[in-house]
Amino acid sequence: MYTINFKFEQKGHEPITIENCEVDDSILEVALKNKIHLHHNCGGVCACSTCHIYIESGEDFVEELTDKEENFIDRARNPKINSRLSCQCLLNEGHGVLNVTIPDQSLIHGE
């Protein structure tokens, strides 16, 4: 099981810690199951960049970055070296702590 600490760049959002996250869930699924709003315009199938996040630590606990995901990250707002798409970050077997930052989503339209 995993613990995920979510921080938010958007003003007015306090950090949230989710414990006992299930293996094989994506970070997007963990967020949605716990009522953390995270845009996902394509429905979580790696066809857009709206579920863009930054993995501050714990990147070894999720699936590796694919070429397809990398192509969509390049289209995200303010991509960084630690950028990922939350729909593609499936939790591997094991346990640990991930620290994730959700970029400001206030300018993303639709869903």
Q: What mean pLDDT do residues 87-111 have?
A: 88
CB 37 within 8 A of CB 28: no
CB 55 within 8 A of CB 82: yes
| pLDDT value, residue 111 | 47
CB 105 within 8 A of CB 37: yes
pTM of the model: 0.92
Q: What is the chain's mean pLDDT, rounded?
A: 94
**Domains in the chain and their CATH numbers?**
2-51+62-102 (3.10.20.30)
Model pLDDT for residues 60-91, shown as the tens digit of each residue: 999 999 999 999 999 998 999 999 999 999 99
CB 2 within 8 A of CB 92: no
Distance (Å, whole) CA 41 – CA 38: 10
Distance (Å, whole) CA 95 – CA 111: 32
- The H or E element spanning position 96 is strand 96-102
Model pLDDT for residues 36-46, shown as the tens digit of each residue: 999 999 999 99
CB 2 within 8 A of CB 61: yes
